[in-house]
Amino acid sequence: MAEFEFETEGVKKTFTFMNRKAPYGTIYALEVLETVLITAAFEQHANIVFVDDGVYQLKSGQDTAAINMKNFSPTYGIIEMEKEDADEDEDIDMNWRIIVEKESLEARGLTTDDFKVDVEVLSAAELADVIDASDCVIGG
């Protein structure tokens, strides 16, 4: 059995995660979330972006008990903690942004008060620049 060694030392990229689906109806939201956490393990930069129905992933007060599915929304709190740790600790070279698109938010009658974590609200034009400047985009 061959052993693989990954040459990741010193490799630093910016990943953008496009969350565009509401939670629970499909597996997209959960799968992207898992991938975001891997990004933390490898200490990479990340833009965790919520557009379209993806903004519903951040809604506070989710209670899935009656649909027999795991409520994974507390994990967004973990992401916020990771971000804050990275911001505060000079030894961690990891820049994370949690971004919501203004147009998607307004189209759904939501405000940042509806969310369980603090987010940056960017216009579509501002967000286009962020996406374009990233090294790798993970859709979902």
Binding site for other proteins (CB under 8 A): 16, 18, 20, 28, 51-52, 101, 103, 124, 127-129, 131-132, 134-137, 139-140
Rounded distance, CA 96 to CA 83, Å? Answer: 5
For residues 103 and 114, which CB has a smaller minimum distance to other proteins in the complex?
A: 103
For residues 85 and 135, which CB has a smaller minimum distance to other proteins in the complex?
A: 135
C-beta of 21: minimal distance to other proteins in Å? 8
Q: What is the pairing mode between strands 96-101 and 45-50? A: parallel
Among 32, 26, 22, CA closest to 110: 22
Residue 137, classified by CB atoms within 10 Å of its CB into exposed (0-12), middle (13-18) or buried (19+), is middle
For residues 119 and 127, which CB has a smaller minimum distance to other proteins in the complex?
A: 127
**53 alpha carbon, distance to own chain's centre:** 14
For residues 36 and 86, which CB has a smaller minimum distance to other proteins in the complex?
A: 36
For residues 102 and 116, which CB has a smaller minimum distance to other proteins in the complex?
A: 102
C-beta of 139: minimal distance to other proteins in Å? 5
DSSP 115: B
C-beta of 123: minimal distance to other proteins in Å? 10
Rounded distance, CA 67 to CA 83, Å? Answer: 31
C-beta of 22: minimal distance to other proteins in Å? 13
C-beta of 1: minimal distance to other proteins in Å? 32
**8 A C-beta contact, residue 19 and residue 29:** yes
